[in-house]
Amino acid sequence: MAPSADRIVIENVAIATVDAEDTEYASGHIVVKGNKIESIGAGKAPEGLENVVRRVDGTGHLATPGLVNTHHHFYQWITRGLATDHNLFNWLVALYPTWARIDEQMTYAAAQGSLGMMARGGVTTAMDHHYVFPRGSGDLSGSIIRAASEMGVRFTLARGSMDRSEKDGGLPPDFAVETLEGALAATEETVKKHHDASFDAMTQVAVAPCSPFSVSTELMKQGAELARRLGVRLHTHGSETVEEEKFCHELFGMGPTDYFESTGWLGDDVWMAHCVHMNDSDIAAFARTGTGVAHCPSSNARLAAGIARVPDMLKSGVPVGLGVDGTASNESGELHTELRNALLINRLGAHREAALNARQALRLGTYGGAQVLGRATQIGSLEAGKLADLVLWKIDGIGHASIADPVTAIVFGAAAPVTLSLVNGRPVVENGRLLHADEDAIARSTREEAQRLARIAAES
């Protein structure tokens, strides 16, 4: 199919490009041709453009790159609001027995809920780290990818796995895990079936064993080899809590970062969620190898995990993106509010007022996310030739109009309404509503599936 020559012209809009120089325009234009940005700059769009199918007056709006989510567990949408006063390990042990009962219908509904909530809030690239595959539960990966494709967002599925259960000193119950061979074979099959390596790919797949305390050393090692053989990225959880650090020392005789290094898990094709408990040499190892971090400030607060050293990571050159994390540990399920939370929570850490500024927070949620997903040449900033994934935030309403600086308004202020978001040049949200999914139907189905899962879990 030839690329579309249709153009969308956006004018009179404030623009934060998040390019390498942080170029901004107080009033500018963006011309989208097909699925790419054709031109961007100050003032009006060039005259005489052909095939213009839509003109958007962006007065009262800020245009930014679409937000990129780098860590999530969609299935948790139907187990929100449970184990609300627990730390990570107690929370996991409380929830694993319920999670191990999910099926394809539940997973699909939960994916719709997770994706819908994020898309409404300006996310144009989503990711799901899915690692619970109960026997006989159907095609869970396929159902998640279908939900993302129907919603119209760009998507990375991190095909997770667990093979270290209670009998091997792990945290998950024995019936909730896969075998080493089964997990590797299913992961390879998922990559071969769904991963698209092209520039404008809408679906990519990463290899993603869950965490050191739920995965065997052999699965970590062979998972890394598999990903490199297939040319896809690697994702897992790392250094989330002090309990995890203790677990690694007891079981492996070393801390999490050394363990990752020993299993082939540091590299510029790897990104890890959390990385809260990192010392200077851990951060240096991430910087030296180009290993990326998915910073999840709300989830870290919810589970009392601690504050990741994001300012030190950025100073050392570690790529850092933002993550919602699963919504059983971040019930809001929103990413645009994480811009603000990242900024505020890091100021509670060691760096105080200089920890992060508004533009750094916006960069984490856009370009930083594109970097850790391995897509920085394609998305994450507004530049001619990149894919047209962008958001128009309404900043002339009651929540923002009295703040002069547009970037300060959307980061420090209330969550800004999304008037329009484009993914791959195609509108996905208009005036705060999803265009390709029925929000009321999703609300109903997610409630029904949450109740059905609770019933099944209670009976077993």
Q: How far is the CB of 274 from Zn ion (least distance, A)?
A: 7
Q: CB 73 → Zn ion: shortest distance, Å?
A: 6
Q: For Zn ion, which is the closer residue by CB, 269 or 325?
A: 325
Integer CA distances (angstroms), 36 to 22, 193, 216, 344, 430, in order: 20, 26, 43, 34, 19
Backbone phi and psi for residue 63, each to the nearest 5 degrees, phi listed first = -100, 130
Nearest distance in Å: CB 232, Zn ion: 19
CB of 176 to Zn ion, least distance (A): 16
Q: Smallest distance from the beta carbon of 380 to Zn ion, in angstroms?
A: 22
338 binds Zn ion (CB under 5 A): no
- Segment contacting Zn ion (CB under 5 A): 14-22, 149-157, 285-293, 317-325? 317-325
Q: Name the minimum Å distance from CB 75 to Zn ion.
A: 11
Q: Which CB sits closer to Zn ion, 90 or 377? A: 90
Cα–Cα distance for residue pair 118/53, rounded to 1 Å = 27
Q: Of 79 and 421, which has the nearer Cβ to Zn ion?
A: 79
Shortest distance in whole angstroms from residue 76 CB to Zn ion: 9
Nearer Cβ to Zn ion, position 210 or 407?
A: 210
Q: What is the CA radius of gyration of the chain?
A: 21
Per DSSP, helices labelled H in 303-364 are 310-316, 336-347, 358-363
Q: Which residue sits closest to Zn ion, CB atoms considered?
A: 325
SS (H, E, C) 26-59: EEEEEEEECCEEEEEEECCCCCCCCCEEEEEECC
For strands 52-57 and 36-42, give the pairing.
unpaired
**Candidates 45-53, 95-103, 321-329, 399-407 — which segment interacts with Zn ion by CB under 5 A?**
321-329
Between 64 and 330, name the residue whose CB sits nearer to Zn ion: 330
Query: Of the two residues 171 and 273, which places its CB atom closer to Zn ion in the complex?
Result: 273
Binding to Zn ion in span 197-226, by CB under 5 A: none
Q: How many residues bind Zn ion, per CB under 5 A?
A: 2
Whose Cβ is closer to Zn ion: residue 45's or residue 176's? 176
User: Using the rule CB under 5 A, is 325 a contact of Zn ion?
Assistant: yes
User: Hey, is 340 helix, strand or coil?
Assistant: helix
Which of 72, 32, 1, 42 minimizes the C-alpha distance to 333?
72
Contact string (CB under 5 A) for Zn ion, positions 262-291, x = contact: -----------x------------------
Cα 69 to Cα 115, 127, 298, distances in angstroms: 10, 6, 14
Which of 219/429 has CB closer to Zn ion?
Answer: 219
Nearest to 129 by CA among 331, 274, 307, 273: 273
Report whether 124 contacts 382 (CB < 8 A).
no
Q: Report the distance separating Cα 210 and Cα 300, nearest Å.
A: 17
Q: How far is the CB of 92 from Zn ion (least distance, A)?
A: 10
CB 326, min distance to Zn ion, A: 5
CA 368 to CA 310: how far, in whole Å? 12
Closest contact distance (angstroms) between CB of 396 and Zn ion is: 36
| 244 lines the binding site for Zn ion (CB under 5 A) | no
Nearer to Zn ion, 273 or 307 (CB): 273
Stretch that binds Zn ion, among 27-35, 94-102, 310-318, 323-331 (CB under 5 A): 323-331
Stretch that binds Zn ion, among 30-38, 61-69, 325-333, 409-417 (CB under 5 A): 325-333
- Could you tell me the strand order of the sheet in which 292-295 lies? 67-68, 123-130, 154-161, 203-209, 234-238, 270-274, 292-295, 320-322
Asked whether 262 and 289 are in contact (CB, 8 A), the reply is: no
SS3 81: coil
Specify the residue, 163 or 325, whose C-beta has the smaller distance to Zn ion.
Answer: 325
Q: Given the rule CB under 5 A, which residues bind Zn ion?
A: 273, 325
